Structure 1
Amino acid sequence: MHAEGGTARATRWPSLLHRRWAGLVDEASFAWISLLQARHRPERTFRQRLEAYVDSWRGASLKEYYALPPGFSPSPSCTPRGKALRIRFPSPLPGPARRNRTAVFDFWLGPEGWSGPTMVIAHGLMSVSDFGYRYWAGRLNALGWNAAFMHLPYHYARRPFGLFPGEMCVTADLVRTAETLRQGVLDLRVFAHWLRAQGSRLMGGWGISYGGWVLAQAACVERVFDRLMLLEPIFRIEHAMWESPSGRGIRRTLERLEVSPETAEPHLRLVCPSLSRPHLKPEEVLLLGGIYDRVVPLRLLQEFRDAWQGCHFFPFPQGHVGYRLMRESLRIAQEIWPRDFALPRH
């Protein structure tokens, strides 16, 4: 009995340390995010603007909310950038910031060229370096896939001068937060349509946190993807803002402006993937979560899996901020979709 107790304690200690370390990393990240979000407080009359925005879309469908402008037909430019191509086109929803008015994707061609399968990688909120994503693009190329790294609104090449990457994406200005998501979905739809026209037969999405939110919402509008990997996606924005530690700064600001969760509640059906159904079969979706994640807790991910009719779901010991899920998701994808990663394909 003594030996068994010692073994149990030895097993619990790494788990406890892992949980505490994940908590510290997450808390430091949340504090930094709250500090940046405080720089973008909306005007005192914001509640009226929010109510008007919600009312203007009250009867709209997903297709209407995420519709491309009539006659919108961009001609993307492709310029070499190291081993990649940088693909640019005017965003169908330009927005106020000049540098954010152009959609940007970095593209690495795999061994099969434009007709090969393509994986669109969508990074997390306030991501500052694409070093790791370039590594994963190389791994995808080695597995026979093209890789496309999406510069989400207000990040990377789309970051306005003087601002931290992504600090304008999710703030107490809920109108801009919704419009930024809408812009990301529209940019992705345009890119997907163009890529299909180049001959791409199979399209996958690999989204992390905020990027997972954009990809999941796009998948509910039309069949953008044939495979979808979502890592701790922000699919319940009301929880992220009103209940999770990442939304503390936003909550304080909204409470001072007398904005309650009920004010924006009618709009949730247009911005929360958990309230819609994807244009994929359950077996075509892979969902990963962090056991210690308080932004997207496991209980909500399980509800999401059920809402999406039982997609693949795997939890791992990680907080919301971490790198393990990238490695695990690609490994699991090769196991559950072996034919997609089998070389040669012809």
Structure 2
Amino acid sequence: MYHSWLDRWDERRARRGEEGKKTTDFILDADRAFPGAGKIASVEEFCVLADQAVADPAFFDEPSESDQGFERTEGWLKFPSDIATDIAANNVVWAKITESGSFDRAMVIFHHWNASARNRQIASFFSRRGITVVEIAMPYHFERSRPGSLHADYMLSSNLGRTIQSIRQGVLDGRKLIHWLKSEGCREISVLGMSLGAWVAGLIAAHDPAVSKASLFLTAGSLADMVWIGRATRSIRDSLEPAIELTDLRRAWGPLNLENYAHSLARPDLDLHVVLAKRDKVVLPALSARFMQRLEDTGARPDILELNCGHYSLAIPPYILLAGLSLKRFLSSTGKSGLRSRSL
């Protein structure tokens, strides 16, 4: 009875999330994804460039290691993004800093797609426990929102190139912030990503050795599959389906597929923590399970917590409390403990 109510609660929340979403044109826009690509006219040509990006270890590298342009004022940090887009507000990165009294340990948070506010409770909880929390605005979110948009439609859409550019921008912004934290004397840096933010956080953890712990909430590997079958992205599938098949979309968005970087996530100096929802209709459990298996096959030993809730109901008690306590234990632990999976 309770779980039936929980499923209905999640569905109502999903319907509210559909407000303002609509079908849009399918666009390749390869030059946004792969600067210098020139005019690409076919899906196959786009996929070839995507295959090359997956094989390129520098695709998510910072274009610059400059610490110039950082401005810190009254709990806020802002700095220029190293990717310039046609939305001026999106080209300035904002981050909210909740200090712990020390920059020795820091956690950078990447919120979910279309988040409307930062999470003061999470920031306060961990800052009281000696971890400085930095909540970064992902592309087209919060202060970086596109004027007139009802949601962050430019970060995830049927424009293949803009989607890659946006997530790559989120990764480079996060790495630039992490570089700044290291320059400020931070010894241990963790990342926490939620849903779409988990893809950004996971890509950062796979490519940046400065990250020692990564916690991924509501994640899977293939962004293409998540969009194609997930509850929150029906309008994007409706836009994609007449123009591209799922097999090609997987290749086109291959640079964003965390499964392609599982070997990097399995590096010995990175600890992984994953929180999944058994009743998730947005990031389906089968997709998450496939990603967990891929991680295990490459030698990663993530600490996995599976909760009997949905994608949205993770945010309500008791599930958010269980997830928070699990994250607290993970951040407090030292060294790898081996694969551990708990189901509640």
- TM class by shorter chain equals 0.7 to 0.9
CA contact (8 A) 2:21 2:235 kept: no
Q: Equivalents in 2 of 1:315, 1:339: separation in Å?
A: 19
What residue is the counterpart of 1:54 in the other structure?
A: 47
Pick one of 160, 165, 174 that aligns with 1:188: 174
* Structure 1 residue matching 2:153: 3-state secondary structure: coil
Which moves more between the two structures, 50-59 or 94-103? 50-59
Q: Is the 8 A contact 1:22 1:321 kept in 2?
A: yes
Query: Matched residue of 2:4: which SS?
Result: helix
Q: Which residue of 2 aligns with 1:264?
A: 249
Structure 1 gaps, min length 5: 1-12, 341-346
Pair 1:184–1:221, CA change in 2 (3 A): same
Count of aligned pairs between the two proteins = 315
Q: Structure 1 pair 64/49, CA: closer, same or farther in 2 (3 Å)?
A: farther
Please report the TM-score for the alignment, with normalisation by the length of structure 1: 0.82
Shift of 1:50: 5.1
Q: Cα distance 1:37–1:151, how it changes in 2: closer, same or farther (>3 A)?
A: farther
Residue 318 of structure 1 pairs with residue 312 of structure 2:
no
CA 37–300 in structure 1, closer or farther in 2 if over 3 Å, else same: same
Given candidates 37, 59, 65, the residue that maps to 1:65 is 59
Cα deviation, 1:27-57, whole Å, max 9, x if unaligned, reads 442x33xx4243x434599993655443334
Provide the residue aligned with 1:97 in structure 2: 87
Does the Cα contact within 8 Å between 2:275 and 2:305 map onto a contact in 1? yes
- 2:155 paired with 1:164: no
Structure 2 gaps, min length 5: 31-39, 335-344
Please give the root-mean-square deviation of Cα atoms over the aligned residues, in Å.
2.5
In structure 2, C-alpha distance between the alignment counterparts of 1:53 and 1:103, rounded to whole Å: 29
Equivalences for residues 73-222 of structure 1 within 5 A: 74-80=68-74, 84=75, 86-111=76-101, 113-114=102-103, 116-130=104-118, 133-222=119-208
- Aligned-residue sequence identity (percent) comes to 18
Query: Where in structure 2 are the equivalents of 1:274-293 lying within 5 Å?
Result: 274-277=259-262, 278=265, 280-281=267-268, 284-293=271-280
- Distance (Å, rounded) in 1 between the aligned partners of 2:270 and 2:3: 31
Task: Please state how far the C-alpha of 1:152 moved relative to its aligned partner.
Answer: 0.5
TM-score (norm 2): 0.83
Q: Any idea what SS the aligned residue of 1:18 has? A: helix
* Stretch moving more, 141-150 or 269-278: 269-278
| CA drift at 1:336 | 4.2
Distance (whole Å) between structure 2 residues aligned to residue 228 and residue 135 of structure 1: 20
Whose radius of gyration is greater, 1 or 2? 1
CA offset at residue 17 of structure 1?
2.2
| Structure 1 residue 24 displacement after superposition | 3.1
2:3 is aligned, of 5, 15, 26, to 15
